Amino acid sequence: MTIYGTATSRRATDLQDLRAALHGLLFPARQDDILAALVARRSPSRVLWRAGQLSPERLYLSIDQVCAELESRRRPTGSGQRTSPPVQTAPAPPC
C-alpha cells in the first residue's frame, strides 16, 4: 500500500480524532494555534500531520472550517504513483 492509500483511508478517523482533540479550543484560530493545542493535548502524530496541511495564513472560525478544509484536500492524481519520472543515474566508472 502506498503512503497516499494509507493517508486517505484514515482521513475520516483522523478528522474525528481532530474534532475530539480540539474540543474546547477557542476559535478563531490559526494553524499554529491548532498545532499548539494538539501538541499540548498529546495528540497522535497522524493528527498533527493532518493539521500541518492547514493554511498557515488562514484564520479558521470553527472546527467545522478546519475539517472542511482538510476534507477538501485530496491526494495527488495517479493513485499513489510517482508524478515525476524516476531519477536516472549514470553507470559507475570502471575501477
pLDDT tens, per residue, the chain with 95 residues: 455 555 556 888 889 999 999 999 999 999 999 999 999 999 999 999 999 999 999 999 999 999 999 998 865 544 444 444 455 556 666 76
Does 60 fall in a domain?
A: yes
**Residue 80 lies inside a defined structural domain of this protein:** no
pTM of the model: 0.68
Give domain status of residue 57, yes or no: yes
Cα–Cα nearest to 14, from 57, 62, 56, 53? 53
The burial class, CB within 10 Å (0-12 / 13-18 / 19+), for 66 is: buried
Rounded to whole angstroms, the Cα distance separating 84 from 3 reads 16
Distance between CA 25 and CA 41 in Å, rounded?
Answer: 11
By residue range, what is the domain housing residue 54? 3-72
Domain membership flag for residue 12: yes
What are the percentages of helix, strand and coil residues in the chain, rounded to 5?
A: 45, 0, 50
The number of domains in the chain is: 1
Please give the pLDDT value at position 89.
53
In a domain, 35, yes or no: yes
